[in-house]
Amino acid sequence: MKTLTKYIYFNTKNRIEFVNITNQIEEIVSESKIKEGIVLVNPMHITASVYINDAESGLIEDYKEWLKKLVPEKDYKHNLTGEDNAFSHLMRTIMGREVTIAITNGKLDFGTWEQIYYAEFDGQRKKRVLVKVLGE
Ligand code: ZN
């Protein structure tokens, strides 16, 4: 079995920001030369998510509004530790940790409209995402 492990880095301008990383993952899969296998993509942080869905810009705004409704501004117990990012942890839990995508004939084997997103909930600092490709 062949493997390739890479890290990609983010430092978003906004504290909450969604970044389409599909092209970066495709490039890493191509570099791996793996034709049949899987790729795992996960943030190395508990205040960011990787998820798969549509790249339609209205939907991205819908996610942000929906998350703000689900995670209202209030005095969370986590913030008593001196942190101010309880909402970031909660949003990450809603949007999930990682994705795994099949590789078929050297390409990401997506359904129609599927795109890979990095969702940052506590940005404006350096963060990294693990990309691990496994297969033959
Ligand atoms: Zn925290």
Give per-residue pLDDT as tens, 63-73: 999 999 999 98
Domain-wise residue ranges, the chain: 2-135
Q: How does pLDDT run along the chain (136 residues), one tens digit per residue?
A: 999 999 999 999 999 999 999 999 999 999 999 999 999 999 999 999 999 999 999 999 999 999 999 999 888 999 999 999 999 999 999 999 999 999 999 999 999 999 999 999 999 999 999 999 999 9
92 Cα: distance to centroid of ligand 1 (angstroms): 11
Instruction: Find the largest Cα–Cα distance for the chain.
Output: 51
**What fold is seen in the domain 2-135?**
Jelly Rolls (2.60.120)
Query: What confidence score (pLDDT) does residue 74 get?
Result: 87
Backbone angles phi, psi at 118, to 5 degrees: -95, 120
75 Cα: distance to centroid of ligand 1 (angstroms): 13
By the 8 A CB rule, do 43 and 49 touch? yes
Q: What's the rounded Cα separation, in Å, for the pair 72 and 96? A: 19
Query: What confidence score (pLDDT) does residue 116 get?
Result: 98
Q: What's the rounded Cα separation, in Å, for the pair 89 and 47? A: 5
Q: For residue 47, what are the contacts with CB-CB under 8 A and spacing of at least 6? A: 85, 88, 89, 91, 92, 120, 121, 122
Q: For residue 56, what are the contacts with CB-CB under 8 A and spacing of at least 6? A: none
Query: What confidence score (pLDDT) does residue 73 get?
Result: 83
13 Cα: distance to centroid of ligand 1 (angstroms): 19
Query: What confidence score (pLDDT) does residue 11 get?
Result: 98
129 Cα: distance to centroid of ligand 1 (angstroms): 18
124 Cα: distance to centroid of ligand 1 (angstroms): 15
